Amino acid sequence: MLDYLAIGHIARDLTPEGARLGGTATYAALTAHALGLRAGLLTATADDADLSPLNGLSIHRQPSPFSTTFENHYGPLGRTQFLRARAATLNDFDIPPDWSAASIVHLAPIAREVPPRMPARFPGVFIGLTPQGWLRQWDDHGRVSPAPWEDADSLLALASAVVISIEDVAGDWGLAEGWAARAAVLAVTEGERGATVFARGSRRRLPALVTPVVDATGAGDIFAAAFFVRLWQTADPWDAARSAVALASDSVTRVGIEGVPKQNTEVRKQNTEVRRRKW
């Protein structure tokens, strides 16, 4: 039995210092686990993938010839991202039967690997979306570029909450606001500026805490998981955003998945005792 199920590819992120474990589902599941939830991960990787950093999670791995692999190049015009390999598309009929009763299901595509029909497998549960992987396309050389979200209308209607980055929409607040109008709750992460949350007909910005930035990788994913967990527990989007911003702000002081919150006995106790809202 799971409290939190993240669905998406684990990634290999190629950096000058070597390959790192990454991917939204990785950061999100580890964050949920650190917050005291029973967390699981549905993913696809090659057989040689090292999953040892994910100890403590329940993992259902679909075999694949490749693991999803990204490489970022930085220049005067900013970041150019390349998809060097992609794992198999996830099969929604391969979900362990008891996982369908997870309290929170986080759909976390990074390379269009999650079928848009996936929410139908989880009626009546909290559905969190981070649609980044549906907002990407790539050419024959693997160069990643923005893509329209083809299933936005149907998925926004089904989601309990959505988290995007302002980078996902190339700074287009009009697009973000249009999605927010169709979503129950939508949060836009803005890096060092914090996050803007749309809910209950209101819009509020929650500023980030001032911390030394060592590595911002995964901060948005940590925000998303913390936001979904707290919103599920309290049904208060503003409280959820404050909690998520604090954890994301702290995460940038460490490198890679070391930025995931550390398990804290008192936090785990509080999270266990908080009333669970039925979705």
Residue 16's pLDDT band (cuts 50, 70, 90): confident
pLDDT reading at 227 higher than 50:
yes
What does the pLDDT read at residue 267?
Answer: 46
Cα–Cα distance measured from residue 243 to residue 73, given in angstroms and rounded to the nearest whole number = 32
Residue 274's pLDDT band (cuts 50, 70, 90): very low
Domain range list for the chain: 4-273
Instruction: Classify domain 4-273 at the CATH class level.
Output: alpha beta
pLDDT reading at 271 higher than 60:
no
pLDDT reading at 89 higher than 70:
yes
- What's this model's pTM, rounded to 2 decimal places? 0.92
Q: What is the pLDDT of residues 21-30, one digit of tens each?
A: 999 999 999 9
pLDDT reading at 116 higher than 70:
yes
CA angle 37, 60, 92 (to 5 degrees): 100
